[in-house]
Structure 1
Amino acid sequence: MSIGNSPEDDRPSVGRALQQARVGAGLTVEEVSTTTRVRIPIVHAIEQDDFSRCGGDVYTRGHIRTLARAVDLDPEPLITQFDAEHGGRPEPTVPAPLFEAERIRSEPRRPNWTAAMVAAIVAVIGFVGFTLFNGGGKGADGPVSADGTANAEKKPAPAPNTTRPTVKPTVPAPSESAIAGLPKDKVTIKVTARDGQSWVSAKDANGKLLQDGLLKKGESKTFTDKKRIDLVLGNAGAVQLYVNGKEVKRVGDEGSVERLSYTPGDPQAG
């Protein structure tokens, strides 16, 4: 007596399911790559269930979602299957120290004028008391009037120091002159991992790989090309991006994977 396979045994793998859906939709790997901006070698690798080129489980899930939507496939069952086959999704509390701690920032302290005034008054009172004490000790040596009393010289007390402490100016954003100094016929991109680490991949207009790796918090990379620069940013919400001297205010959400292209002139994401 033979025992039939369970429905789960007959279920195709994640890569096989994506490949079948792509073929069923009549799309080539090149067309899917152009639509999703996922590189052709990575699309081939995922369809062969090789996720080693994705850069980690977080980016793998993002690629699976992107490819599934491109071929009209529900990504959630595929994500669940991937997690079951690769040790499960990490606990949601694990990334909290990396990202949440960066968002909790104390507001800059304002100068305490009351404390400054109190300190100035205390200093003046101490100075006056010191002056009077020394003046009383030297009164016998000072000029004497006709009635025999010491004629101590009275000095006016100095006025309270009400000068406000100097507040350091904040660092300004790049000026118009700095922006104007950038070459008009080139695209210049500066990527800074401001609020946390981010995976960054950058290519020029000829497809040459300029950067492909992890950018640690606080590190920056600058890329220049005459025609175009294509970016793939992991954890895009932690990135500060300047394109041709102008800051791109919103790059993406925390933990998201963003694919962007820029050319010379005003930054217009592709």
Structure 2
Amino acid sequence: MSIGNSPEDERPFEDVSEEARPSVGRALKEARLAAGLTVDDVTSATRVRVAIVHAIEADDFAPCGGDVYARGHIRNLAKAVHVDPVPLLARFDAEHGGRPAPTPAAPLFEAERIRPERRGPNWTAAMVAAIVVVIGFVGFTAFKGGGDDAGAKAHVGEGSTPTTGTSASPTPKSSKPADAAPAPSDSAIAAAPQDKVTVQVSAANGRSWISAKDHNGRMLFDGLLEKGESKTFQDSSKVNLILGDAGAIQLYVNGKKIEDQFRPGAVERLTYTKGDPQVG
């Protein structure tokens, strides 16, 4: 009988502790659950996206974008769930080829912090916006100026005697509030085509939602008309209107003012055709 260790004792020692130890992702997940935290809680604390947290807990580090970023995520997640990140980083380095060489620059990873990006002024966009504003202002001024000149000619054509000085300009009506929408000029009324229906909607007494359609049901306008604004619609045979607050609206149809006393807040559905205004 030999004296010494048996063959069984001479077998290499098997260290099962390494295999029994949970993986990096599983250790982080178990620590999170033990701390009573959800993935959203961890995301709020670390600024690491929810999808990346789930991937790391499943030991999938590909979404991290590299080992350097993965190590940074592991460190931040470990701190958030109150565990020591050093053993987890050592296990990760052992499984992924060792710790990467240090980078002399500033910290490479900052847990994907969301920071506002500072950009210089976009001079091209500013220039385009300025050009659009200037063109719109010039067009509006030309339109208003043309309407005033035509209004003066219409007064002369109706038989009124033109006078010299400032009396040639229309006398302002003091009975209306200063901020009320001006009534359409006589030239606009006289210029209404006889073979079409022309409807002008003015928000003289307040703002109102309006909708306008032509005889085919095609939408001409659908929106809010602010106080002082006006819209003009034309169609070959018929214009259908819906007024959200009829009491705030003044209507001019085919050159004539509609004298209906609409109640404030009342919703009116109106239809106008060629010739004398007809309410449908």
Q: Same fold (TM over 0.5)?
A: no
Give the alignment's TM-score, normalised by structure 2. Answer: 0.34
Give the alignment's TM-score, normalised by structure 1. Answer: 0.36
